[in-house]
Structure 1
Amino acid sequence: MSIIPEKRLKAAIGFIFVTAVLDIVAMGIIIPVLPQLIEEFVGSNARAGIINGLFVALWAGMQFVASPIIGSLSDQYGRRPVILISCAGLAIDYVLMALAPNLWWLALGRIVAGITSSSFTTIYAYMADITAPEKRARAYGLIGAAFSGGFVLGPVIGGFLGDYDPRAPFWAAAAMSGIAFFYGLVILPESLPREKRMKFSWRRANPVGAMVLLGRHRELSGLAGVTFLLHFSHHVFSAVFVLYAQFRYGWGPKEVGMLLAMVGLLDMATQGLVVGPVTKALGDRKTMLLGLFGGTIGMALMGWAPVGWAFVAA
């Protein structure tokens, strides 16, 4: 358990939730406008879809490389500096993207975002440090709800700002990440005691090493495979959604933002109110399978939807 005094524990948990919300708000703000900004540079909806997909792959690739490195760094130096540096890095990244004069600058911004957003795993590690094992499922569900809450606000703000200026959401995202950094600088204590820290190791801090570790634990490798497929499907969807909605249904940033906010509200309700009781009743495995089955049906119906209202219902 944590070395944090009881009086500061609530403040630490509050910071984790606030940071989760602010980071996801910042990320969500740019979702409705980034593909359109790319389209402005390339002048083609179809080509913008391809490049946006490449940007998603670039972002995810940097996460794949950076996540184990950042995790190992947090094991040696503690969770606090990693989380704070991540917030500061995201703020700088969004300023870079707001000023980007061409696609190369946007690509650089995606690289920086992929590296700095890898610290989301450190947020979960922080909660594991300060939470008893039997309470972690609920704590992770609450973090998921905080992420969903940020995802409700982000696309709405980004959609309305994007109607005013395609670059305005990036400035708003930079401000959100900057607020999270300064808030954490004052509030956040360290959660990992020095006697529990591990020296940085390239053997653990590289994707190949992580894959070898997974291979030694069958239960982890199966879960990792499911997680990979789940994130793969969602990244495929997110890479084309904004441009697809514009092309097929004539939706702009405002409509896209409102729809994503609706999805975030439903997700927040599920994470905060449903996951805990259902997991208690059915167990982890059956709950996961139920969620994956529902996601499969929903994705299939979205691909079928001939009109906007059917897509919203799906």
Structure 2
Amino acid sequence: MAAVNKPAEDGSSFSSKVINIVFVTLLLDLLGFTLILPLLPSILDHYAQTGDGVYQSLQSVVDWFREAVGIPMEKKYNTVLFGGLIGSLFSLLQFLSSPVTGALSDRHGRRPMLLLTTLGLVCSYAIWAVSRSFGMFLLFRVIGGICKGNVSLCTAIVADLPCPKARNRGMAMIGVAFSLGFTVGPLMGAYFALGSRATGIVFYQTPALLALAFSVADLLFVWAAMPETLTKDAKASSSSGFGDPGDLLNPLSLFHFSAVIRTRDPPPRERMQKLQALGLVYFCYLFLFSGLEFTLSFLTHQRFNFTSMQQGKMFFFIGVIMASIQGGYARRIKPGQHIRAVRVAIMSLVPAFVLIGLSWNVTMLYVGLALYSFAAAIVVPCLSTLVSDHGTANQKGTVMGILRSLGALARALGPVASSSVYWIAGAQVCFLLTAASFIIPLVLLRRARSLKEE
């Protein structure tokens, strides 16, 4: 069992060990999380056919929104929209829980909170495995959304590392874990669902049991291998309470990082201004990016009549490019070059979404997707590295938890806003308008770069 409260050693061997453990931890977590992604349309169809009462109640809400924005009454669009709204619920729960999880890790340590959140995920997957109603399925998603603190905790663990180069490499490896998880996990989910159908059991039960197995393995791995990276001195200097709970739940307070300001050792004003600017860049980028990510499924259905298999191949293409860039270029970005890398990546999204929005053939679509994948591989890891430089040792969990919360809020709101524009004004207007809107995070990024720190 790994020793708790082990001080973070300065040696590169300890940093490399932590990064490798974080990579395996997140990969196991994300493999379990992404197994459901290709199954969600079939799961929704399954509960629609059974006449489940909870499903029918929520369907009326989806129908109201569909009629309000003019989405055609077609099964494939209804499924994408219903799934997107469930995804927004999941993101809203992460928005609420991530800052609290991060603040608790500043008080009690990263390892105990990681064990607790992973145990919560084990319980959620167990509920999914035995669920036979849509109400139980929603309970599984709610518990999972509340307990999905592994990402913010792992970024806080990497932020604890003393060497800037190690932190940069760690954030890039977190990105690689995401890319691999979102590439391999859905394929595994689809494969084992087919196997379940062949044996005559409910098609999602084998993937659910596999997700449970991944989460149990993750729990055991964290318990056996994960060291405590928050030092005893940092714990001792941490505030004895949360202060104002609104600092961790109020969106305006989160944008201002108020929970970091109202501590015994607040950062200098100039550093807080830069942190706030980076938080705004992160939110604006993910708001625009997640909205287009969601409407991409509408576009490929509507314009190219993509089947589920073609959709899967498209996301596999995206995942392979992202993993290649994160494993090669992103982790070698030198300290001081991250803002420049983010600027180049966001600028590449302008032609990416113009090409996707105007695409009249699949080749043009995939050229746009290649640029899209490049930006997706760079922006979040680099912004996470920049933000991890802010805050004292006993504030890293709070800082990274707030950043994760802002991202979850963006992912909850972005798909609703973009799908509304898509169906009211059309695909081309939606993609071109969003491409032009990336000027907003670019201006904010320029402001963040111009701020001088003490």
Relative to the length of structure 1, the TM-score reads 0.85
Say which of 249, 259, 263 aligns to 1:207.
Answer: 249
Higher deviation after alignment, 206-215 or 110-119: 206-215
Residue equivalent to 1:28: 34
CA contact (8 A) 2:105 2:153 kept: yes
Offset, 1:77: 0.8
CA distance in 2, matches of 1:292, 1:67: 25
What are the superposed Cα offsets for residues 25-59 of structure 1, whole Å, 9 maximum, x if unpaired? Answer: 22222211113312332363333233222211111
CA distance in 1, matches of 2:46, 2:295: 16
What are the superposed Cα offsets for residues 263-306 of structure 1, whole Å, 9 maximum, x if unpaired? Answer: 112111111211244x4398222211111122333234334444
Higher deviation after alignment, 255-264 or 241-250: 241-250
Distance 1:183 1:280, change over 3 A: closer
Offset, 1:230: 2.4
CA distance in 1, matches of 2:162, 2:146: 27
CA contact (8 A) 1:65 1:207 kept: yes
CA distance in 2, matches of 1:160, 1:249: 25
Residue equivalent to 2:59: none
Residue equivalent to 2:161: 130
Distance 1:235 1:123, change over 3 A: same
More helix by share: 1
Distance 1:102 1:297, change over 3 A: farther
Distance 1:40 1:310, change over 3 A: farther
CA distance in 2, matches of 1:11, 1:143: 14
Residue equivalent to 1:266: 321
Residue equivalent to 1:91: 122
Aligned residues, how many?
313
Whether 1:175 and 2:213 are equivalent positions in the alignment is: yes
Identity of aligned residues (%): 23
Distance 1:61 1:172, change over 3 A: same
CA distance in 2, matches of 1:61, 1:39: 24
Residue equivalent to 2:143: 112
Distance 1:135 1:281, change over 3 A: closer
Offset, 1:115: 1.6
Distance 1:102 1:135, change over 3 A: same
- CA RMSD of the aligned region, Å? 3.0
Q: Structure 1 stretches of 5 or more lacking a match?
A: none
CA distance in 2, matches of 1:241, 1:105: 29
CA distance in 1, matches of 2:40, 2:215: 18
Offset, 1:142: 2.1
CA contact (8 A) 1:25 1:151 kept: yes
Higher deviation after alignment, 10-19 or 232-241: 232-241
Offset, 1:64: 1.0
Residue equivalent to 1:302: 356
Distance 1:106 1:130, change over 3 A: same
Residue equivalent to 1:71: 102
Distance 1:241 1:202, change over 3 A: farther
Whether 1:38 and 2:44 are equivalent positions in the alignment is: yes
Q: Which amino acid aligns with 1:212?
A: H
Q: Structure 2 stretches of 5 or more lacking a match?
A: 50-74, 198-202, 262-268, 369-454
The structure that has the greater radius of gyration is 2
Whether 1:233 and 2:277 are equivalent positions in the alignment is: no
Residue equivalent to 2:66: none
CA distance in 1, matches of 2:230, 2:99: 17
Residue equivalent to 2:430: none
Distance 1:181 1:241, change over 3 A: farther
Offset, 1:10: 5.0
CA distance in 2, matches of 1:169, 1:234: 29
Q: Which amino acid aligns with 1:201?
A: F
CA contact (8 A) 2:165 2:334 kept: no
CA contact (8 A) 2:98 2:149 kept: yes
Say which of 7, 19, 30 aligns to 2:25.
Answer: 19
CA contact (8 A) 1:3 1:193 kept: yes
Relative to the length of structure 2, the TM-score reads 0.61
CA contact (8 A) 1:25 1:154 kept: yes
3-state SS in 2 of match to 1:191: coil
Higher deviation after alignment, 115-124 or 246-255: 246-255
